[in-house]
Protein backbone atom coordinates (compact mmCIF):
# COMPACT_ATOMS: atom_id res chain seq x y z
CA UNK A 1 0.00 0.00 0.00
CA UNK A 2 1.10 3.56 -0.68
CA UNK A 3 1.01 5.99 2.19
CA UNK A 4 -1.36 8.88 1.66
CA UNK A 5 1.50 11.21 2.52
CA UNK A 6 3.42 9.97 -0.54
CA UNK A 7 0.46 10.69 -2.82
CA UNK A 8 -0.08 14.10 -1.26
CA UNK A 9 3.62 14.92 -1.58
CA UNK A 10 3.61 13.91 -5.26
CA UNK A 11 0.48 16.00 -5.86
CA UNK A 12 2.10 19.00 -4.16
CA UNK A 13 5.18 18.66 -6.36
CA UNK A 14 3.03 18.51 -9.50
CA UNK A 15 0.80 21.38 -8.37
CA UNK A 16 3.82 23.66 -7.96
CA UNK A 17 5.33 22.64 -11.30
CA UNK A 18 5.39 24.95 -14.29
CA UNK A 19 6.93 22.44 -16.72
CA UNK A 20 6.31 18.78 -15.91
CA UNK A 21 7.25 15.95 -18.26
CA UNK A 22 6.20 12.29 -18.21
CA UNK A 23 8.63 9.48 -19.02
CA UNK A 24 6.82 6.19 -19.63
CA UNK A 25 7.68 2.53 -20.06
CA UNK A 26 5.90 -0.76 -20.62
CA UNK A 27 4.13 -0.69 -17.25
CA UNK A 28 1.72 2.05 -18.34
CA UNK A 29 0.48 -0.14 -21.21
CA UNK A 30 0.44 -3.46 -19.36
CA UNK A 31 -3.05 -2.65 -18.07
CA UNK A 32 -4.18 -2.40 -21.69
CA UNK A 33 -3.14 -6.02 -22.24
CA UNK A 34 0.14 -5.28 -23.99
CA UNK A 35 2.86 -7.60 -22.63
CA UNK A 36 5.90 -6.09 -20.98
CA UNK A 37 9.39 -7.26 -21.97
CA UNK A 38 11.04 -7.78 -18.60
CA UNK A 39 9.89 -9.24 -15.32
CA UNK A 40 7.45 -12.02 -14.61
CA UNK A 41 5.43 -12.92 -17.70
CA UNK A 42 7.44 -10.57 -19.92
CA UNK A 43 8.05 -11.31 -23.59
CA UNK A 44 11.71 -12.09 -23.05
CA UNK A 45 10.75 -15.03 -20.81
CA UNK A 46 9.25 -16.71 -23.88
CA UNK A 47 11.12 -15.19 -26.82
CA UNK A 48 14.81 -14.59 -27.42
CA UNK A 49 15.53 -10.97 -28.40
CA UNK A 50 18.51 -11.94 -30.54
CA UNK A 51 16.18 -14.08 -32.68
CA UNK A 52 13.44 -11.48 -33.14
CA UNK A 53 14.62 -7.96 -32.35
CA UNK A 54 17.99 -7.40 -34.00
CA UNK A 55 19.07 -6.43 -37.53
CA UNK A 56 20.87 -9.78 -37.76
CA UNK A 57 17.67 -11.69 -36.96
CA UNK A 58 15.82 -9.77 -39.67
CA UNK A 59 18.53 -10.46 -42.24
CA UNK A 60 18.57 -14.14 -41.29
CA UNK A 61 14.81 -14.79 -41.25
CA UNK A 62 12.59 -11.79 -42.09
CA UNK A 63 9.49 -13.98 -42.26
CA UNK A 64 9.89 -15.19 -38.69
CA UNK A 65 10.54 -11.67 -37.42
CA UNK A 66 7.51 -10.31 -39.24
CA UNK A 67 5.25 -13.11 -37.99
CA UNK A 68 6.13 -12.05 -34.44
CA UNK A 69 5.61 -8.38 -35.20
CA UNK A 70 2.30 -9.06 -36.94
CA UNK A 71 1.13 -10.79 -33.74
CA UNK A 72 2.25 -7.80 -31.68
CA UNK A 73 0.63 -5.32 -34.08
CA UNK A 74 -2.63 -7.21 -33.67
CA UNK A 75 -2.32 -6.95 -29.87
CA UNK A 76 -1.61 -3.22 -30.05
CA UNK A 77 -4.44 -2.41 -32.45
CA UNK A 78 -6.95 -4.28 -30.29
CA UNK A 79 -5.84 -2.44 -27.13
CA UNK A 80 -7.37 0.75 -25.75
CA UNK A 81 -5.60 3.54 -23.88
CA UNK A 82 -5.72 3.13 -20.12
CA UNK A 83 -6.93 5.71 -17.59
CA UNK A 84 -3.24 6.56 -17.07
CA UNK A 85 -2.82 7.43 -20.74
CA UNK A 86 -5.96 9.56 -20.63
CA UNK A 87 -4.90 11.46 -17.49
CA UNK A 88 -1.59 12.41 -19.12
CA UNK A 89 -3.43 13.60 -22.23
CA UNK A 90 -5.76 15.71 -20.08
CA UNK A 91 -2.84 17.22 -18.20
CA UNK A 92 -1.17 18.16 -21.47
CA UNK A 93 -4.39 19.77 -22.79
CA UNK A 94 -4.69 21.76 -19.56
CA UNK A 95 -1.08 22.94 -19.66
CA UNK A 96 0.03 20.87 -16.66
CA UNK A 97 2.31 18.68 -18.79
CA UNK A 98 4.88 19.86 -21.33
CA UNK A 99 5.13 16.52 -23.08
CA UNK A 100 5.56 12.76 -22.90
CA UNK A 101 8.73 10.82 -23.58
CA UNK A 102 7.95 7.15 -24.10
CA UNK A 103 9.93 3.98 -24.60
CA UNK A 104 6.74 2.27 -25.78
CA UNK A 105 6.01 1.56 -29.44
CA UNK A 106 2.23 1.09 -29.12
CA UNK A 107 1.00 4.61 -29.96
CA UNK A 108 -1.47 4.58 -27.05
CA UNK A 109 -0.42 8.03 -25.84
CA UNK A 110 -1.47 9.57 -29.15
CA UNK A 111 -4.69 7.57 -29.25
CA UNK A 112 -5.50 8.89 -25.76
CA UNK A 113 -5.09 12.44 -27.04
CA UNK A 114 -1.49 13.36 -26.23
CA UNK A 115 0.04 15.56 -28.92
CA UNK A 116 3.59 16.25 -27.72
CA UNK A 117 4.99 12.72 -27.65
CA UNK A 118 8.58 11.69 -28.26
CA UNK A 119 8.74 8.01 -29.26
CA UNK A 120 12.29 6.97 -28.45
CA UNK A 121 11.98 3.46 -29.85
CA UNK A 122 9.68 4.09 -32.82
CA UNK A 123 6.18 2.77 -33.40
CA UNK A 124 5.25 -0.83 -34.07
CA UNK A 125 2.40 0.00 -36.48
CA UNK A 126 4.84 1.83 -38.74
CA UNK A 127 7.16 0.17 -41.25
CA UNK A 128 10.19 1.47 -43.12
CA UNK A 129 11.41 0.37 -46.54
CA UNK A 130 14.91 -1.10 -46.54
CA UNK A 131 15.40 0.14 -50.11
CA UNK A 132 13.89 3.60 -50.59
CA UNK A 133 13.42 4.30 -46.83
CA UNK A 134 9.81 5.44 -47.18
CA UNK A 135 7.56 4.79 -44.20
CA UNK A 136 3.97 3.65 -43.97
CA UNK A 137 1.45 3.12 -41.19
CA UNK A 138 -0.39 -0.19 -40.77
CA UNK A 139 -4.09 -0.03 -39.94
CA UNK A 140 -4.10 -3.83 -39.65
CA UNK A 141 -1.39 -6.51 -39.44
CA UNK A 142 0.26 -6.95 -42.85
CA UNK A 143 -1.43 -9.58 -45.03
CA UNK A 144 1.82 -10.36 -46.84
CA UNK A 145 4.59 -11.65 -44.55
CA UNK A 146 7.20 -10.38 -44.93
CA UNK A 147 5.67 -7.24 -46.48
CA UNK A 148 7.31 -5.43 -49.36
CA UNK A 149 7.38 -1.81 -50.45
CA UNK A 150 4.72 -0.97 -53.04
CA UNK A 151 7.05 1.56 -54.67
CA UNK A 152 10.37 -0.26 -55.01
CA UNK A 153 9.63 -3.87 -54.02
CA UNK A 154 12.21 -4.00 -51.23
CA UNK A 155 11.49 -5.60 -47.89
CA UNK A 156 9.79 -3.49 -45.26
CA UNK A 157 11.03 -3.67 -41.70
CA UNK A 158 9.28 -2.63 -38.47
CA UNK A 159 10.10 1.02 -37.83
CA UNK A 160 11.33 0.36 -34.30
CA UNK A 161 14.72 0.46 -32.64
CA UNK A 162 16.22 -3.01 -32.33
CA UNK A 163 18.99 -4.20 -30.06
CA UNK A 164 22.31 -2.99 -31.41
CA UNK A 165 20.78 0.07 -33.10
CA UNK A 166 21.08 3.70 -32.03
CA UNK A 167 18.10 5.80 -31.05
CA UNK A 168 16.96 8.23 -33.75
CA UNK A 169 19.11 11.33 -33.25
CA UNK A 170 16.27 13.86 -33.64
CA UNK A 171 14.07 12.06 -31.10
CA UNK A 172 16.93 11.69 -28.65
CA UNK A 173 17.69 15.42 -28.86
CA UNK A 174 14.03 16.27 -28.24
CA UNK A 175 13.88 13.91 -25.25
CA UNK A 176 17.11 15.22 -23.77
CA UNK A 177 15.93 18.82 -24.12
CA UNK A 178 12.60 18.05 -22.46
CA UNK A 179 14.52 16.34 -19.65
CA UNK A 180 16.89 19.27 -19.15
CA UNK A 181 14.14 21.89 -19.22
CA UNK A 182 11.49 20.24 -17.00
CA UNK A 183 11.07 21.01 -13.32
CA UNK A 184 9.30 17.71 -12.57
CA UNK A 185 9.62 14.35 -14.30
CA UNK A 186 7.04 11.70 -13.49
CA UNK A 187 8.54 8.32 -14.38
CA UNK A 188 5.84 5.73 -15.01
CA UNK A 189 6.13 1.98 -15.46
CA UNK A 190 9.76 1.63 -16.48
CA UNK A 191 12.47 -0.56 -15.02
CA UNK A 192 15.02 2.22 -15.70
CA UNK A 193 17.65 -0.24 -16.92
CA UNK A 194 17.49 0.21 -20.71
CA UNK A 195 20.11 2.71 -21.83
CA UNK A 196 20.42 5.31 -23.17
CA UNK A 197 16.74 5.98 -22.34
CA UNK A 198 17.37 5.36 -18.63
CA UNK A 199 19.69 8.37 -18.62
CA UNK A 200 16.80 10.79 -19.10
CA UNK A 201 15.53 10.86 -15.49
CA UNK A 202 19.12 11.35 -14.36
CA UNK A 203 19.51 14.24 -16.80
CA UNK A 204 16.32 15.77 -15.40
CA UNK A 205 17.50 15.32 -11.81
CA UNK A 206 20.92 16.79 -12.55
CA UNK A 207 19.17 19.80 -14.11
CA UNK A 208 17.23 20.43 -10.90
CA UNK A 209 13.96 18.59 -11.51
CA UNK A 210 12.03 16.61 -8.91
CA UNK A 211 11.48 12.95 -9.80
CA UNK A 212 8.21 11.15 -9.07
CA UNK A 213 8.38 7.42 -9.69
CA UNK A 214 5.26 5.33 -10.31
CA UNK A 215 5.97 1.61 -10.26
CA UNK A 216 4.64 -1.33 -8.22
CA UNK A 217 8.22 -2.61 -7.90
CA UNK A 218 11.43 -1.00 -6.69
CA UNK A 219 13.69 -0.05 -9.61
CA UNK A 220 17.18 1.25 -10.27
CA UNK A 221 15.71 4.76 -10.12
CA UNK A 222 14.02 4.40 -6.72
CA UNK A 223 16.98 5.61 -4.68
CA UNK A 224 17.14 8.79 -6.80
CA UNK A 225 13.42 9.59 -6.85
CA UNK A 226 12.01 12.28 -4.57
CA UNK A 227 8.78 10.29 -4.21
CA UNK A 228 8.12 6.66 -5.18
CA UNK A 229 4.52 5.52 -5.52
CA UNK A 230 4.30 1.73 -5.34
CA UNK A 231 1.16 1.62 -7.43
CA UNK A 232 0.04 0.66 -10.89
CA UNK A 233 0.00 3.51 -13.36
CA UNK A 234 -3.75 4.06 -13.69
CA UNK A 235 -4.42 3.90 -9.94
CA UNK A 236 -1.61 6.36 -9.21
CA UNK A 237 -2.40 8.88 -11.92
CA UNK A 238 -6.13 8.79 -11.21
CA UNK A 239 -5.45 9.44 -7.52
CA UNK A 240 -3.03 12.26 -8.31
CA UNK A 241 -5.51 13.82 -10.72
CA UNK A 242 -8.21 13.85 -8.03
CA UNK A 243 -5.84 15.50 -5.55
CA UNK A 244 -4.83 18.14 -8.10
CA UNK A 245 -8.47 19.03 -8.75
CA UNK A 246 -9.43 19.65 -5.11
Q: Which residues are catalytic?
A: 121
Signed CA dihedral, 18, 16, 92, 5: sign only: positive
Q: Contact at 8 Å (CB) between 64 and 145?
A: no
Sign (positive/negative) of CA torsion 66, 127, 200, 217? negative
Contact 107, 123 (CB under 8 A): yes
Contact 177, 12 (CB under 8 A): no
DSSP H/E element including 74: helix 62-78
Whether the Cβ atoms of residue 186 and residue 23 lie closer than 8 Å to each other: yes
Which ranges of 79-198 would DSSP assign to H, the alpha helix?
83-93, 108-112, 169-181
Q: How far is CA 154 from the centre of its chain?
A: 29
Amino acid sequence: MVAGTDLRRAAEILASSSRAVAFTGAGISAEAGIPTFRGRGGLWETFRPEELATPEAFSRDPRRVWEWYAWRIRKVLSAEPTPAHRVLAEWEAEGRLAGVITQNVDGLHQRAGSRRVVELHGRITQARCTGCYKTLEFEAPPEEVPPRCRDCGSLLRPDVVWFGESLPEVDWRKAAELSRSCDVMIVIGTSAVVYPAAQLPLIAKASGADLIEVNPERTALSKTADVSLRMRASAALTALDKLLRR
